[in-house]
Structure 1
Amino acid sequence: MFIVYMMRIIMNYLPIFTELTQLKEAILLIIGMINNDVQFLARRFIK
């Protein structure tokens, strides 16, 4: 659910990221956020 919401935000703001460097930074940031969310969920399910 969270990831779907984030993807929707990315699609809405994609035209703003005209420069490749900005886009790359945004993608890395979002991947990091998703990775943290997945790790958090994984810890909850393991315990």
Structure 2
Amino acid sequence: METVVLLSHKNTETHINENVEFGEGDGKIPVGKIAEKAEDYGTSERVT
């Protein structure tokens, strides 16, 4: 097996900042929903 990887330099002067609030209420993300989605997503066992 052979793997090829392309490495590149990117401009690090630009950043994206996103503020997220967790909890209950308008505009907030409920923590329970995140846990449910993570559990549903899960991982599948694979032989490699």
TM over 0.5: no
By percentage of residues, which structure has more helix? 1
What TM-score results when the alignment is normalised by the length of structure 2?
0.32
Q: Which structure would you say has the larger RCO, counting Cα contacts within 8 Å and 6 or more residues apart?
A: 1
What TM-score results when the alignment is normalised by the length of structure 1?
0.32
Structure ID, larger Rg: 2
